[in-house]
């Protein structure tokens, strides 16, 4: 054996030892056994694959094909951003205005930046919520996406109920302070559909509530304390309150905390003015802090394979992702390799 080969073997051995030590340290710091105990008691899958606005890498976010595809792929939860129209209809829509994901500028000139609650549901139904995706992502475009509509909450529930796979619902009360009473309306809708019992009972964790607004989670806790609640956090909240304080608050409000991933920490959407320091919230010791406080950890929005591995090694109990198909593949849960077959199955 030459000296060069001996050096290479020694280097490889050293790297292997370092990798093993890193894995052991990550495991100790993140206390994954604590997270497993929390989700097992609540009946939440681990790792939970949460389809962020549906399978939104493959289809226009928050639309019917996005939710149907996430369901057929085998996501554990369909993630919904909940808002309310002028006439009181609960809808699935993320943005506070219609300019990014609809043709509101053409249908309602001058109103495309207006708040959602200035539109009736009938007005929203006049909008095309799918063509923007075809223009932005021509490599994933489908003619069937043209003319897609904004969905009522009930339509998302029907999507979750109607397939061979039955995902849960992970519902965010979006900007809840703008919609007084939305928490009670949401709970009543879920009771009417049988997702929550008349007495507030639940079967497993078919529903998880989430919000960036602690006050909204307080109201949901008062209405249905049995349903798990996740406090979502962002860089502004951490800058103002500190992660330790937010973990304590999350433990008081619910059972989970929604941190953010590596790409977000260094991405262009970071609020530099409000949080000039860039930092992470998914290091193993930070996940361990949450686990030891009795919380599960579901970071958002994790879309790259390397970042999924990082979140997993850091002890996350699941993740929000636009890439449902990639996450399921990473965790060895892919049931269908032929996406075209699934598109045909769901009619898109």
Q: How confident is the model at residue 5 (pLDDT cuts 50, 70, 90)?
A: low
3-state secondary structure of 111: coil
Burial of 247 (0-12, 13-18, 19+ CB in 10 A): buried
- Residues 54, 69: contact at Cβ < 8 Å? yes
Half-sphere exposure of 212 (CA within 13 A, CB side): 14
Strand 318-321 vs strand 296-297: parallel, antiparallel, or unpaired?
A: unpaired
3-state secondary structure of 347: coil
Residue 14 pLDDT > 80: no
Which bin fits 200, alpha (ψ -120 to 50), beta or left (φ > 0)? left
CA distance 155 to 126: 17
Least confident among 55-59, 131-135, 260-264, 336-340? 336-340
CA distance 177 to 254: 19
pLDDT digits (tens, 9 = 90+) for 201-260: 776 689 999 999 999 999 999 999 999 999 999 999 999 999 999 999 999 998 999 999
pLDDT digits (tens, 9 = 90+) for 110-145: 999 999 999 999 999 999 999 999 999 999 999 999
Of residues 9 and 209, the one with the higher pLDDT is: 209
Angle of the 284-292 helix axis to the 3-30 helix axis, nearest 10? 30
**pLDDT at 164 (0 to 100):** 82
Written as one string, the DSSP assignment of 176-226 is GGGSTTHHHHHHHHHHHTTSS-TTS--STTSEEEEES-HHHHHHHHHH-TT
264 Cβ neighbours under 8 A, 6+ residues apart: 270, 300, 301
**pLDDT at 204 (0 to 100):** 66
Least Cα distance to 82 among 167, 154, 132, 162 occurs for 154
Whether 269 is catalytic: no
**pLDDT at 203 (0 to 100):** 64
pLDDT digits (tens, 9 = 90+) for 265-292: 999 999 999 999 999 999 999 999 999 9
**pLDDT at 215 (0 to 100):** 98
Q: What is the CATH number of domain 29-85+155-346?
A: 3.20.20.190
Residue 3 pLDDT > 60: no
**pLDDT at 334 (0 to 100):** 78
**pLDDT at 155 (0 to 100):** 98
Written as one string, the DSSP assignment of 90-107 is EEE--SSSSTTTS-HHHH
Q: What would the two tokens of residue 134 be?
A: 């075809």
3-state helix, strand, coil in the chain (%, to 5): 45, 10, 40
**pLDDT at 49 (0 to 100):** 98
CA distance 160 to 207: 11
The mean pLDDT of the chain is 91
Q: Where are the alpha helices (H) located in 74-140, listed in sequence order? A: 104-107, 121-124, 131-136
Least confident among 16-20, 54-58, 341-345? 16-20
CA distance 261 to 298: 10
DSSP 168: E
Residue 24 pLDDT > 80: no
Beta bridge pairs of residue 208: 170
**pLDDT at 1 (0 to 100):** 60
81 Cβ neighbours under 8 A, 6+ residues apart: 53, 62, 92, 93, 94, 172, 174
Q: Which of 94, 165, 177, 298 is catalytic?
A: 94
**pLDDT at 18 (0 to 100):** 36
Half-sphere exposure of 278 (CA within 13 A, CB side): 11
The CA-atom distances, in angstroms, between 309 and each of 31, 261, 302 are 17, 11, 10
Mean pLDDT of 73-92: 98
Domain coordinates of the chain in residue numbers? 29-85+155-346
**pLDDT at 6 (0 to 100):** 43
Residue 94 pLDDT > 80: yes
pLDDT digits (tens, 9 = 90+) for 149-173: 999 999 999 999 998 899 999 999 9
3-state secondary structure of 82: strand
**pLDDT at 199 (0 to 100):** 78
Strand 151-152 vs strand 168-173: parallel, antiparallel, or unpaired?
A: unpaired
Q: Which of 52, 269, 291, 336 is catalytic?
A: 52
């Amino acid at each position: 054996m030459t000296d060069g080969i001996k050096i290479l073997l020694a280097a490889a051995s050293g790297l292997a030892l370092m990798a093993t030590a890193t894995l052991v340290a990550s495991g100790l710091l993140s206390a994954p056994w604590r997270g497993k105990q929390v989700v097992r008691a609540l009946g939440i899958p681990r790792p939970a694959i949460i389809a962020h606005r549906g399978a939104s890498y493959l289809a226009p976010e928050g639309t019917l094909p996005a939710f149907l595809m996430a369901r057929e792929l085998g996501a554990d939860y369909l993630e919904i951003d909940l808002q309310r129209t002028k006439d009181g209809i609960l809808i699935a829509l993320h943005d506070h205005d219609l300019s990014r994901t609809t043709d509101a500028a053409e249908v309602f000139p001058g109103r495309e930046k207006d708040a959602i609650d200035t539109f009736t549901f009938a007005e929203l139904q006049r909008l095309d919520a799918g063509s923007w995706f075809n223009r932005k992502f021509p490599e994933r475009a489908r003619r069937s996406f043209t003319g897609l509509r904004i969905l009522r909450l009930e339509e998302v529930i029907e999507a979750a109920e109607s397939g061979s796979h039955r995902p849960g619902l992970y519902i965010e009360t979006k900007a809840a302070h703008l919609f007084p009473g939305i928490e009670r309306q949401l709970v009543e809708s879920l009771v009417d559909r049988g997702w929550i019992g008349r007495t507030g009972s639940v079967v497993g964790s078919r529903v998880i509530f989430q919000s960036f607004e602690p006050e909204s989670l307080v109201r949901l806790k008062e209405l249905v304390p049995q349903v798990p609640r996740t406090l979502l956090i962002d860089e502004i909240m951490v800058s103002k309150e500190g992660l330790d304080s937010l973990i304590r608050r999350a433990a008081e409000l619910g059972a989970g905390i929604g941190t953010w991933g590596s790409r977000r920490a260094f991405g262009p959407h970071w609020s530099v003015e409000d949080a000039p320091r860039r930092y992470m919230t998914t290091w193993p010791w930070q996940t361990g802090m949450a686990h030891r406080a009795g919380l599960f950890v579901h970071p958002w929005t994790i879309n790259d394979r390397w970042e999924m591995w990082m979140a997993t090694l850091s002890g996350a109990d699941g993740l929000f992702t636009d890439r449902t198909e990639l996450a399921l593949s990473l965790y060895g849960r892919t049931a269908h390799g032929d996406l075209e077959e699934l598109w045909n199955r769901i009619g898109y």
